[in-house]
Amino acid sequence: MGNNNAVFIEPNDIRRASIIWLHGLGADGNDFVSIVPELRLPDNLGIRFVFPHAPVRPVTINGGMSMRAWYDVRNMDLRREEDAVSIYDSARIIEQYIAAEVNAGIPSERIVLAGFSQGGAMALHSGLRYSSKLGGLLALSAYLPLPEKFHNEASPTNKTTPIMMCHGTYDQVIPASAGKQSCEFLIQAGYTVNWLSYPMEHSVCLEEVQDIGTWLQTILD
């Protein structure tokens, strides 16, 4: 993947792990760059951060305006008219980012797929279908898209991959109930999911960032 398609933050130490962090609808790869120092991750973890830019596409619920989006949203009810074509297209893009890290010498089990909102949805969708073992999946203010296709497409390789889902209880964009429903769906399917909620809207808060930092240290240490 070309350097123009993502923002990269290199570690101060030898590169030992990678976190691929996917932004939400209408943002770009710069959106979560400022979060990196707040995670307070020790230098010896050697983490390289990759913040890809989603493709630009028309988004139906935003009047057909073109913006960076991993997939189209056609209905405020997230389960109606899901745009499977662009979800799968974006999954292929994300797999290329994972492959690039593996080719750079990072074992797949030292790669974490993270994302906010649409990006978190894509982290779950792509990570749970990925053929090689990943280090962890982090979904912030997100949900699992296309659940009806999940059981036929999920990769057994990532059945034991640590999953963390965080959500704001006052979220009016992706209701916490949608995230919780996806969490329970995955637990019933045999996955281990760490669910945390915070008194916030569709955003990220300091306590959440600290919890994420602790979790990342635990799975990458």
Query: Measured between alpha carbons, how far is 191 from 72 in angstroms, rounded to an integer?
Result: 28
| Nearest CA-CA partner of 19 in 106, 96, 87, 143 | 106
Computed over every residue of the chain, the mean pLDDT equals 96
Complete domains list, the chain, with CATH: 3-220 (3.40.50.1820)
The tokens of 172 are what?
A: 């009016």
Is the entire prediction scored with pTM above 0.85? yes
For residue 168, list its beta bridge partners. Answer: 198
Residue 2 has pLDDT above 60, yes or no: no
Query: Measured between alpha carbons, how far is 174 from 93 in angstroms, rounded to an integer?
Result: 24
Mean pLDDT of the region 127-133: 98
Query: Measured between alpha carbons, how far is 97 from 184 in angstroms, rounded to an integer?
Result: 29
> How many CB atoms lie under 10 A from the CB of residue 162?
19
pLDDT in tens, 86-113: 999 999 999 999 999 999 999 999 999 9
Mean pLDDT of the region 46-70: 97
pLDDT at 3: 64
The set of residues, in sequence order, having a beta carbon less than 8 Å from that of 171 and lying 6+ positions away, is 141, 179, 200, 201, 202
* Catalytically active residues, by annotation: 117, 171, 202
CA 179 to chain centre: 13
Mean pLDDT of the region 69-94: 93
Q: What values do phi and psi take at 66, rounded to 5? A: -85, 135
DSSP codes, the chain: --GGGEEEE--SS---EEEEEE--TT--GGGGGGGTGGG---GGG-EEEEEEPPPEEEEGGGTTEEEE-SS----SSTTSS--HHHHHHHHHHHHHHHHHHHHTT--GGGEEEEEETHHHHHHHHHHHH-SS--SEEEEES---S-HHHHHHH--GGGTT--EEEEEETT-SSS-HHHHHHHHHHHHHTT--EEEEEES-SSS--HHHHHHHHHHHHHHH-
What confidence category does residue 79 fall into, taking pLDDT thresholds of 50, 70 and 90?
confident
What confidence category does residue 4 fall into, taking pLDDT thresholds of 50, 70 and 90?
confident
